[in-house]
Amino acid sequence: MTSLDDQTSVAQLDRRGLMFILSSPSGAGKTTISRMLLEADDEIRLSVSVTTRPPRQGETEGVHYHFVDDAEFDRMVEDDGFYEWAHVFGHRYGTPKGRIRAALKEGRDFLFDIDWQGTQQLYQKDQQDVVRVFILPPTIEELRRRLETRATDDGDVIEARMERARAEISHWDAYDYVVINEDVDSCFAKVREILHAERMKRQRQTGLIPFVRELMR
């Protein structure tokens, strides 16, 4: 019979964390699914980027971004301190390698809401820790309807977003999993199933080695 202490020790086996990437064309539901995942799962947190942009009102260092000056950002680039980085609207943003790698060893998971180019860069730097999920709309017409329903963009902007969406969709086969978002709750359930299964992979269960050795004594 398994004792309560044995059950607890099994439940608390050490594991390595993972980098969970969600990508999708604009309007396919990536941001909504990301928010739902962060609210529902205490073991995953949003990756905090480094930026040269000054803090906006209400933003907190280490919560929204790690704020640095250009010289510090340059130093991190020279030291290969980023998984990926890019220029965005006159400022630079990057995913810090050192902070995340240290946290992965402690079993912490990170959520990345990034496009396929950022996904490629991240995967090339650290394949073993990356899980790539691409979210598709049920139809291209539905994607357009969702963009129009937002009522935040004019016709020209929507057309530009649709053109970019088609380009992004063409990279669907660069991902480990593809989920069609016809219903947001169903899509979210599938994404959570993927996350749970990836956490259980043998190579991430670092606590299994001493546990199995003890079983074989």
Average pLDDT in the 88-99 region?
86
In a domain, 109, yes or no: yes
pLDDT at 26: 85
pLDDT at 151: 66
- pLDDT tens digit string along 110-156? 999 888 888 998 999 889 999 999 999 999 999 999 888 876 677 88
- Contact predicate 168/61, CB 8 Å: no
Q: Which of 99-108, 143-152, 181-190 has the lowest mean pLDDT?
A: 143-152
In a domain, 209, yes or no: no
CA distance 65 to 52: 10
Question: How many structural domains is the chain composed of?
Answer: 1
What's the length of the chain?
A: 217
pLDDT at 3: 46
- Contact predicate 130/63, CB 8 Å: no
Alpha helices in the chain (DSSP H): 4-11, 30-40, 70-78, 97-105, 116-125, 140-150, 155-169, 184-199, 208-215
Cα-based distances in Å from 8 to 11, 12, 16, 55: 5, 6, 18, 43
In a domain, 97, yes or no: yes
In a domain, 1, yes or no: no
pLDDT greater than 80 at residue 216: yes
Q: Which of 27-31, 153-157, 182-186 has the highest mean pLDDT?
A: 182-186
pLDDT greater than 50 at residue 46: yes
Residues whose CB is less than 8 angstroms from the CB of residue 167 and which lie 6 or more positions away in sequence, other chains included: none
Q: Which of 191, 172, 199, 216 is nearest to 17 (CA)?
A: 199
pLDDT at 80: 92
Provide the mean pLDDT of the chain: 89
pLDDT greater than 60 at residue 88: yes
Average pLDDT in the 171-183 region?
96
Token match 């043998």: residue?
Answer: 202
Q: Which two structure tokens, joined as six digits, stand for 13?
A: 């086996």
In a domain, 6, yes or no: no
Q: Which of 8-12, 24-28, 34-38 has the highest mean pLDDT?
A: 34-38
Range of the structural domain that residue 64 is part of: 14-204
Cα-based distances in Å from 195 to 65, 137, 182, 187, 208: 24, 20, 20, 13, 19
In a domain, 7, yes or no: no
In a domain, 5, yes or no: no
pLDDT at 1: 45
In a domain, 217, yes or no: no
| Model pTM above 0.85 | no
Token match 């057309």: residue?
Answer: 159
User: Which residues on adjacent β-strands are paired with residue 51?
Assistant: 67, 93
pLDDT at 137: 94
Q: Which of 7-11, 46-50, 144-148, 161-165 has the lowest mean pLDDT?
A: 7-11
pLDDT greater than 90 at residue 36: yes
CATH number assigned to the domain comprising residue 150 = 3.40.50.300
pLDDT at 11: 57
